[in-house]
Homo-oligomer: A and B are copies of this chain.
Amino acid sequence: MSQLEHLYTVLGQNNVLTGPAMSPYLEDWRGRYTGTALAVVRPGSTQELAQVVRWCNQQAVPIVPQGGNTGLCGGATPDNSGRAIVVSLTRLNQIRSIDTDNDTMVVEAGCILHSVQQQARQAGRLFPLSLAAEGSCTIGGNLATNAGGTQVLRYGNMRDLCLGLEVVTAEGEVLHGLQGLRKDNTGYDLRNLYIGSEGTLGIITAATLKLYPLPKATCTALLALDSIPSAVQVLNIARNGLGAALTGFELIANNCLQAVTHCYPDQRLPFQGESSRLPWFALLELSDSESMEHAREQFEAVIAEALELGVVQDAVIAESLAQSQALWHLRESIPLAEKAYGKSIKHDISIPVSRIAEFVQETNTALQAQFPGVEHIIFGHLGDGNLHYNLAKGSAFSEDELLALQPQVYHIVHGNVHRFAGSISAEHGVGQLKRNLLPLYKDPVQLALMQRIKKALDPNAIMNPGKVLPDTSQ
């Protein structure tokens, strides 16, 4: 254990975990990835972390940074070599400052997203990033994966919500970039290089985040639709009529909400008869800077227009905050309710909005031709072109049979994504899960430049090995 002596000295014995104490850090939360490690370290400051990284760089010890361990692609789980140090950022959890005149807050990487949202709200501001794991994911992880979520349509993804970073580089130097400027054209954009690099170039220790005014009222509507082209037309009408007040536009296939009401009998679909059997629903959110009355008026005008044009078949506008929440609850329950259909093969994809209808039709057809009877479970953020396009066993397969088909299903779905100029990872990142898919679908010039940047910024290749970049040894 003498190899760890130095870490004990820097961090104190309590913050260097070995043996069984490491287990929560060695498996991802869905139990898909497990690994081993030399130790798990929990630095208490940027300077302590920099010392750890310098030591790792000298000793050629790989580093796996980890936030709330809620990732979906195995990006924060070490490999099985047992050589790596897992660096948990959770002790770097201070809100360093909030500046309401500059509309910024400086937070450390280990801050939980939900607590950042709360602190902003207490200061009378909105921090808009919102996603399912917000109660346990950390800002550092959100940055490392360029997290998306339900408000991207209006506020953008994590990249758009960050003005600057503090980073410990792969050689243990501290990059200072927390100034909080909305304009700074003094050189290359290093911030956006670290954001989304999943810990393979350095470790983000703190960030300056953008804040927004709190909306005065939020209102939600659920629309029943006959097709995806109709949904795209409604999106157009809503963007045109509501402008930046349109903060959410989710597309949901009928069977997703059927699963929700089946699994959770206390939830119910607000449509009956014909409307409840239409193939698609759209959940719209409007964030108003005036009042709930004004929000409803605005919604009514837009929906009336869409009904008149025949692109919406039926519509419900929430009458209260409670009803709004109930509609969102339907949407948010899908990932859990989906399990009623058994384990599924998941895809986190994006397509230009104008081509989504065609993509879904062709991909559904191709999958049914090859695997008749599989169940399509499709929902997502239509406003961003981002679909969670999942496949369950349906009537024709067992769960095991379906899961064995994953490579063939990937091949069909990702092949079509590529053909429709889309992305095989819209918001969850690459991690271990998709790194060896990149050479099939990513521009080879970009891939080659990524390798060069990796080499330039992490010359000893210690940062999160086996993640993002394809395995070139194969």
Contacts and interface: CB of A to CB of B under 8 A. Distances in A.
Given A192-B189, A243-B213, A99 B354 contact: yes
A24 to B, nearest CB: 25
A385 B104 CA distance: 12
Interface residues on A, range: 35 or more
B352 A183 contact: no
B446 A177 contact: yes
Interface in A136-157: 145-146, 148, 152, 154, 156-157
B175 A424 contact: no
Given A181-B385, A192-B193, A384-B183, A443 B350 contact: no
A181 B188 CA distance: 23
A442 B175 CA distance: 11
A425 B236 CA distance: 38
Nearest to A441: B186
Contact of A186 (B182, B232, B425): B425
A447 B182 contact: no
Contacts of A183: 148, 152, 157, 350, 381, 384-386, 423, 426-427
A428 B185 CA distance: 7
Count copies of this chain in the complex: 2
Given A185-B427, A354-B102, A385-B102, A449 B457 contact: yes
A241 to B, nearest CB: 7
Interface in A142-199: 145-146, 148, 152, 154, 156-157, 159-160, 169, 173-177, 179-190, 192-193, 195-197
A26 B252 CA distance: 57
Nearest to A449: B190
A164 to B, nearest CB: 10
Contacts of A148: 183, 185
B244 A187 contact: no
B188 A450 contact: yes
Nearest to A301: B290
A303 to B, nearest CB: 15
Interface in A403-427: 421-427
Given A176-B443, A289-B241, A184 B350 contact: yes
A197 B169 CA distance: 21
Contacts of A192: 189, 192-193
B426 A184 contact: yes
A300 interface: no
A421 B104 CA distance: 14
Interface string A316-357: 000000000000000000000000000000000011111100
A101 interface: yes
Contacts of A422: 179, 181
Which of A102, A186, A385, A427 has the most CB atoms of chain B within a 10 A radius of its CB? A186
A455 interface: yes
17 contacts: A102-B354, A173-B445, A176-B443, A177-B443, A179-B352, A179-B423, A183-B350, A183-B384, A185-B426, A185-B428, A186-B434, A187-B447, A189-B189, A190-B446, A213-B239, A243-B289, A452-B456
